[in-house]
Amino acid sequence: MRVISVIDQISQGGFRHKANEDRVGIGGCHAWVIDGATGLGEPFMGAGSDAAWLAQRAHEALTRHAALTRPDDLMAALADDLVGCFEAERTRPLAEAWELPCGAFMLATADEGVITITWSGDCRALVQPAGGPVSAFGASPVSEEAEAALVAQVGAAGDPAERFREPGALVQLRAMRALALAAGNARILAPDPGFVRHLAQAAVVASEADVLLMTDGFAAAELRYGVYASPQALMAAARRDGLAEIVQQLRRFERETDPDGKLKPRWKRCDDATAIWLKISN
C-alpha cells in the first residue's frame, strides 16, 4: 500500500483584507491544491468571495469522496457535488456566463507504482522519483509569458493590484472566461459537469517520489518572477529552506523588488500562494 506523507505545506493569502481563495488538502490516496478564480463583477454567491466559495466547496467535496481511488471517479463525484451546492446556494439567476464561480486545481493520486497527476487550469506540479529527474505539469513558462503579454497590453494602472479592474482588462477577461465557461461544456473547474471532459492527466511511474503541488501564486516564484531558475531549483529550495521561505522570497519580489509590476507585468501585486510537499513511498 502506498504511503503519502506531508513534509510541508503552506497557504498564504495575497492581501490581509481579502479572503484567501486557495485551498489545500489530502485524503485517501489523493492530495490537492485548488485556486478559485477572482470574480470579475459583483459577488454571485452572496456577500463573500465567489472564488473562495468555489475553492471551499471543491475542497469539501474532494475530502468527502477521497475514498474513491480512481481520479476519474473522484472527479465525477466532485462535479456532481459542485452542481448541487451551486443550485442550493446561489443568490440569483446566472445572467452572464463569466459570472459562474470557477477556478483551477491540481490533484496527485498515488497508486501501486504510479503517480497520476490530474489538473485543470494554471496550477502546477513537480514530481521527482527517487534518484530521478524533476518532471513538471500544468502551468508552464509558455503559459506565463502569454499571460504577461496580455497584462502588458492593458497598460500600467496606478496599482497593479487593481490592474484586472481596468475597464479594458475586464472586457477581455470576461470574454475569455465566458468562452471557458460555455454552458454544459466548461473547460475549467466550475459547477458544470462539462469540466470533467477537459481535464489534463499524466502518469509518472515511480515506487517512491517527492511531489510538490502548487497554485500559480506559489509557482510564480519560479515561472513568473524567476526567483528560482528552474523546476529543479524550486524543488531543491523546498528541501533546503522549506515552503515558507519560498513564499517569503516571492513576497519580497512582489512588495520590494517590483511593487509596480513593471519588471513582471501581472494582474495583482500579490497573489494567494499555496503549496503542499509530499513524500510518496511503499
pLDDT in tens, 220-229: 999 999 999 9
Task: State the first-to-last Cα distance of the chain, in angstroms, to the nearest integer.
Answer: 6
Its domain, for residue 89, covers 3-281
**H/E stretch holding 211:** strand 209-214
Burial tier of 227 (Cβ tally within 10 Å: 0-12, 13-18, 19+): middle
Q: What is the pLDDT of residue 112?
A: 84
Question: Greater confidence, 7 or 1?
Answer: 7
Q: What is the pLDDT of residue 165?
A: 75
Looking at the chain, how many residues does it have?
282
CA distances from residue 130 to 23, 98, 125 in whole angstroms, order as listed: 28, 43, 16
- Percent of the chain with pLDDT strictly greater than 70: 97
DSSP E strands, 16-102: 22-27, 30-36
Whether the per-residue pLDDT at 154 is higher than 80: the answer is no
Cell of 68: 474513491
| 215 within 8 A of 189, measured Cβ to Cβ | no
CA distance 154 to 144: 16
CA distance 137 to 135: 7
Cell 513582471, residue located: 264
CB contact burial 168-191 (16+ within 10 A = b; e otherwise): ebeeebbeebeebbeeeebbbbbb
Q: What is the pLDDT of residue 66?
A: 97
Q: What is the pLDDT of residue 164?
A: 74
Q: What is the pLDDT of residue 104?
A: 98
Cell of 48: 463573500
* Per-residue pLDDT reduced to its tens digit, 228-259: 999 999 999 999 999 999 999 999 999 999 98
* Per-residue pLDDT reduced to its tens digit, 104-153: 999 999 988 899 999 999 999 999 999 999 999 999 998 888 888 888 77
Whether the per-residue pLDDT at 2 is higher than 90: the answer is no
Whether the per-residue pLDDT at 157 is higher than 70: the answer is no
Q: What long-range pairs does 235-239 form, CB within 8 A, spacing at least 24?
A: 235/126, 235/128, 235/134, 235/210, 238/8, 238/212, 238/275, 238/277, 239/210
Whether the per-residue pLDDT at 4 is higher than 60: the answer is yes
In the predicted model, what is the mean pLDDT of the chain? 93
If one counts the domains in the chain, the total is: 1
Question: Greater confidence, 266 or 180?
Answer: 180
Whether the per-residue pLDDT at 156 is higher than 60: the answer is no
Looking at residue 39, the DSSP 8-state letter turns out to be P
Residues 26-41 have a mean pLDDT of 96
CA distance 52 to 81: 16
Burial tier of 226 (Cβ tally within 10 Å: 0-12, 13-18, 19+): middle
CA distance 121 to 127: 18
3-class secondary-structure state, position 187 = coil
Q: CATH number, domain at 113?
A: 3.60.40.10
Q: What is the pLDDT of residue 276?
A: 98
